[in-house]
Amino acid sequence: MIVTSPAHASPVPGAVAPAVELCGISKRFGETLALDGASFAVQRGQIAALLGENGAGKTTLMQILAGVQAADSGELRLAGQRVELASPRQAIARGVGMVHQHFQLVPTLTVAENILLGAPRPRFLLGRQPLHVEIAALGQRLQLPVDPAARVAELSVGERQRVELLKALWRGARVLILDEPTAVLGPLELGPFFRALRALAASGTAVVLITHKLTEVLAAADVVTVLRRGRTVARDLPIASVDGDRLGRLILGSEETAAATGEAAAAPMTPPAPALAASAPLLRLRRVSAIGQRGERALDDVDLEVWAGEIVGVAGVSGNGQRELAQVIVGLRPALAGRIALAGQEITRLPVRERLARGLGYVPEDRLGDGIAPALSVQHNLALGLFRQPRAPWLLPWRALAQRSAELVAEHDVRLQSLAQAAGQLSGGNVQKLILAREIDARPRLLIAAQPTRGLDLGATAAVRERLCRLAAGGCGVLLISEDLDEILALAQRVVVLFRGRVAGTIDRAAASAEAIGKLMLGRTADLAAAEPV
């Protein structure tokens, strides 16, 4: 590690040097300039939000601070001292800890083992009992309760996040970077989480919150820095001095703002009520049960209907059967019991291909893993949808396909360099638009969309939601599985809440409120209050 001489004087004479200061950071990945002279700072005891669209460079900037990536140019100061962090180990030694968006936990190890991994002590023997007690005590003190002996694979997402936080703090992090920490939390988990963050800050930790959710920034942060296309467009704005509109304009840049800010035209997007004249629902599940990945009963006696022209929202805290529900309907997971009918025809035992041929469309939750073949070109990925045609030719008509692909890409506003580009290189929002383009091109009667906007920026989110509404308006049924309650409230006519694989309740949108749904999501009836994380 190279530490140069004490820093130049801090910008404001007499002020305490910030815990972290990044100046003029640039980073290039191949053709893309991810960061272009970006800057950022956070003080001890402060929660600083780093805001920006996907691809604005938020994560890259913080990975540089955490030693995961190396900057091409620019300088990095910790408590006024200029440093170079060539590896995560050096960053940790300097007290910088990062909780990544995709958790960096080893699922087969226990909570304690994950926390001890790479920690400065113990030196050799992992004396288990005393460490377990110590870890549990630290968790209690920091309002981050965990069971040290539990295997991480068995924990809920919220619990895993607590383990990640403890892991960083156990190793003495004084600067804690959180990459999109709330993406995985249910609405009632947010309160305790932000309280824990506040307590951490109060104890002198500098907390960096990477996010693209304006409401969270306004609720939880002290100051906010906004990145746009790799540049810092606003730095250290006190939260009292900004509001949602102003932040929205900063994030998107003034010219694009009108198109996609804020409420994203939620109200007019609502499709008309379904034509009740139709005799049978498009999709009907009767007492469907299924076994999950770990042998548990992931779906238990689920009844569900989706009518033509209707968007039905499926809400629930992550891991309460949503994934299995989508898989069972599509045919990726066998139903243990019960019947599934599509447009009146039973499909319970049909293979996936048959179901798709009968008009099922699927936008999977894991876009890169299940939705596309990342190494294949955009055009090949679009062509993958072709087999649904009853007489798909053995030899693919590449010229016609190229033309059709170009049309689809233009129609769905997928931004790319060329059709020959590997689909995995596109940004998350464009991958999602690509998948939607492929699914919609197959003219589905019923579309299952699992977490369709998770991790997407404002513009792409609005585009995807609008597309779903247009589908429903055109008579397609949509089953919208989402952990974003606002999304469900904005789009769905009916909300089905899953809790531990059972339907905890079905609410009409007219009667739905975030509170009522939130309670059902935790398996509570309307009377029981007292928010407590699961």
Partner 1 sequence: MNDGGALSFAVNLLAAGVASGTPLLVVTMGEVIAERSGVLNLGLEGLMLVGAMSGVMATLATGSALLGLLAAFAAAALLASLHALACISLRADQVVSGLSLGFLGMGLASVLGAPLVGAQAQLDRFTVRPVPFFSELPVLGPVLFSHNGLTYAALLAAPLIWWMLQRTRPGLHLRAVGENPEAADGLGVDVTAYRYAAVCLGGGLAGVGGAALSLALTPGYVDGMTAGMGWIALGLTIFARWSPLAAVPGALLFGAIRRLPLDVQGLDVGWLANPSSGYFLNMLPYLLVIGVLVAGNLRWQRRGLGAPASLGQPFVRGAQR
User: Which residues of the shown chain bind partner 1 in the complex (CB under 8 A)?
Assistant: 63, 66, 68-69, 87-89, 92-93, 98, 100, 102-109, 113-114, 116-119, 122-126, 128, 153, 167, 171, 293-295
Q: How far is the CB of 66 from partner 1 (least distance, A)?
A: 8
**Closest separation between CB of residue 128 and partner 1, Å?**
8
- Beta-carbon count within 10 A of 173 CB: 23
Minimum CB separation of residue 373 from partner 1 in Å reads 15
398: tokens are: 């590449």
Cα→Cα distances 63→57, 67, 97, Å = 10, 6, 10
CB-CB contact of 341 with 316 (8 Å): no
Nearer residue to partner 1 within complex by CB, 144 or 214: 144
What HEC string does 5-16 produce?
CCCCCCCCCCCC
8 Å CB contact between 265 and 89: no
CB 201 to partner 1: min, Å: 23
**Judged by CB, which is closer to partner 1: 120, or 474?**
120
CB of 197 to partner 1, least distance (A): 20
CB of 118 to partner 1, least distance (A): 3
Tokens of 143: 């309002």
Please say which residue, 68 or 386, places its beta carbon nearer to partner 1.
68
One-character DSSP codes across 443-474: --SEEEEESTTTT--HHHHHHHHHHHHHHHHT
Smallest separation, CB 60 to partner 1 (Å) = 10
Contacts of 50 (CB under 8 A, 6+ apart): 40, 58, 61, 62, 208, 209, 210, 211, 224, 225, 227
Phi then psi for residue 288, to 5 deg, are -85, 130
Q: Where are the beta strands (DSSP E) in 43-92?
A: 47-51, 73-78, 81-83
Nearer to partner 1, 11 or 122 (CB): 122
Rounded least distance, CB 160 to partner 1, Å: 12
Residue 167 or 228 with smaller CB distance to partner 1:
167
Answer yes or no: are the C-beta atoms of 471 and 315 closer than 8 Å: no
Number of neighbouring beta carbons within 10 Å of residue 124: 6
∠ CA 92-64-45, nearest 5°, is 60
* Other C-beta atoms lying within 10 Å of the C-beta of residue 334: 11
Which residue from 40, 73, 53, 57 is spatially nearest to 175, judged by alpha carbons?
40
- Give the nearer residue to partner 1 in terms of CB position, either 218 or 291: 291
Identify which of residues 123 and 399 has a Cβ nearer to partner 1 in the complex. 123
Q: In what order do the strands lie in the sheet with 73-78?
A: 32-42, 20-29, 73-78, 81-83
Shortest separation between residue 325's beta carbon and partner 1, angstroms: 21
Tokens of 379: 């055009």
Shortest distance (Å) from residue 171 CB to partner 1: 8
Q: Select 38 or 131, whichever has its Cβ closest to partner 1.
A: 131
- Asked whether 192 and 169 are in contact (CB, 8 A), the reply is no
- Other beta carbons within 10 angstroms of residue 96's beta carbon come to 27
Q: What is the closest distance, in whole angstroms, from the C-beta atom of residue 113 to partner 1 in the complex? A: 6
Instruction: Name the residue nearer to partner 1 (CB basis): 117 or 265.
Output: 117
Give the nearer residue to partner 1 in terms of CB position, either 173 or 478. Answer: 173
Q: Which is nearer to partner 1, 127 or 268 (CB)?
A: 127
Peptide bond just before 533 cis, omega within 30 deg: no
